[in-house]
């Protein structure tokens, strides 16, 4: 995972070259938002799933970088004062604190746009059918039926009153959609059959939910110093969470069940999928 994280950072560095002149500022902010660390979980899922279908790493890394651009764009916009109003991200000032709000809005817009440019480029795959499918998949994950819709629910007035189904639906859109695309992208690159795609989709659904439950637990149990971002936010804002609705013990148990379920969907891939199974375990065991 560390090796992939470093490779993705190099890829992002290449895909977002510095620019001169007054527009250099927004490119700097795009680089600041993407090159400053993070677990790189989503890129890792792209690379690990691509390996199941013998896709070469350079191709997978381009898609991985595009997925990370979209993840980082969403963090930049979600952190804005009009949204979650967060000052700290990955242990550093958020983009609007480091630069300003206007630059943060534009940097997010630029990253979202650049992600599609990367996917549509012939260097990502020689078959334009594959590239068009990747663009459609990323757009579906990022748009109003995915991340944008999830964030809209997350900041809505009804947010405090969500029941377990409501929180599950919210997280399916806000976090699950992009994790789902990350797991599917390898299958698209490798032109895998439908059964393989379905298995990865099922794995991703369980993984995404387990990831979010673990996030809710960390928000309660961890410190800002450990996480590199503010904690206790959900409770302070009276947001309904898995931990709040289930209790800590039941939430932990549910996350473990989801890890088992996620792994069960990988059986058809045999030992080749050990990395993805380990990733599911990592997602709930992580401390940040």
Among 37, 58, 100, 264, binds a second copy (CB under 8 A): 100
Pick 119 or 196: Cβ nearer a second copy: 119
The answer to whether residue 27 forms part of the interface with a second copy (CB under 8 A) is yes
Cβ(251)–Cβ(216) below 8 Å = yes
The DSSP result for 111-142, as a single string, is HHHHHHHHHHSTTT-S-HHHHHHHHHHHHHHH
Among 38, 43, 110, 176, binds a second copy (CB under 8 A): 110
Region of 39-47, 97-105, 198-206, 213-221 interacting with a second copy (CB under 8 A)? 97-105
Among 59, 62, 77, 229, binds a second copy (CB under 8 A): 77
- Using alpha carbons only, what angle is made at residue 143 by residues 80 and 211, rounded to the nearest 5 degrees? 75
Pick 30 or 273: Cβ nearer a second copy: 30
Instruction: Tell me, letter by letter, the H, E, C secondary structure of 202-242.
Output: HHHHHHHHHHHHHHHHHHHHCCHHHHCCCCCHHHHCCCCCH
Q: How many CB atoms lie within 10 A of CB 120?
A: 15
Q: How many CA atoms lie within 13 A of 70 on its CB side?
A: 32
Per-residue contact string for residues 132-171; x = within reach of a second copy by CB under 8 A: xx-xx-xxx-xxxx--xxxxxx-xx-xx------------
Region of 123-131, 203-211, 212-220, 272-280 interacting with a second copy (CB under 8 A)? 123-131
**In the chain, what's the furthest Cα-to-Cα distance?**
54
CA 28, CA 128: separation in Å to the nearest integer?
Answer: 31
Q: Residue 209 CB, nearest distance to a second copy (Å)?
A: 18
Pick 15 or 204: Cβ nearer a second copy: 15
CA 213, CA 248: separation in Å to the nearest integer?
Answer: 10
Collapse the DSSP code of 47 into the 3-class scheme (helix H, G, I; strand E, B; otherwise coil) and give the result.
helix
The answer to whether residue 237 forms part of the interface with a second copy (CB under 8 A) is no
Query: What residues make contact with a second copy under the rule CB under 8 A?
Result: 19, 21-23, 25-27, 30, 73, 77, 80, 82-83, 100-103, 105-106, 108-110, 112-114, 116-117, 119-122, 127-129, 131-133, 135-136, 138-140, 142-145, 148-153, 155-156, 158-159, 173
């Amino acid at each position: 995972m560390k090796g992939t994280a470093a490779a993705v950072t190099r890829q992002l560095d290449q895909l977002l070259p510095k620019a001169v002149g007054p527009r250099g500022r927004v490119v700097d902010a795009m680089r600041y938002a993407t090159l400053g660390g993070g677990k790189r979980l989503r890129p890792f899922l792209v690379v690990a799933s691509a390996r199941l279908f013998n896709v070469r790493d350079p191709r997978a890394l381009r898609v991985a970088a595009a997925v990370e651009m979209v993840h980082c764009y969403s963090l930049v916009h979600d952190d804005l004062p009009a949204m979650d109003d967060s000052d700290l991200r990955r242990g550093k000032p958020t983009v609007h604190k480091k630069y300003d709000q206007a630059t943060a809005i534009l940097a997010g817009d630029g990253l979202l746009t650049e992600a599609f440019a990367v996917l549509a480029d012939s260097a990502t795959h020689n078959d334009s059918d594959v590239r068009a499918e990747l663009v459609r998949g990323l757009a579906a994950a990022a748009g109003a039926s995915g991340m944008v819709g999830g964030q809209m629910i997350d900041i809505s007035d009804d947010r405090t009153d969500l029941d377990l189904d409501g929180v599950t639906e919210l997280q399916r859109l806000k976090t699950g959609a992009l994790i789902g695309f990350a797991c599917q992208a390898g299958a698209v690159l490798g032109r895998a059959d439908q059964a393989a795609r379905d298995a990865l989709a099922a794995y991703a659904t369980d993984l995404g939910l387990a990831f979010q439950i673990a996030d809710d637990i960390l928000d309660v149990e961890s410190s800002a110093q450990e996480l590199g971002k503010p904690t206790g936010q959900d409770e302070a804002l009276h947001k309904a969470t898995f931990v709040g609705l289930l209790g800590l013990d039941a939430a932990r148990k549910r996350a473990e069940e989801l890890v088992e379920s996620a792994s069960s969907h990988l059986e058809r891939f045999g030992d080749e999928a050990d990395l993805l199974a380990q990733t599911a375990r990592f997602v709930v065991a992580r401390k940040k």
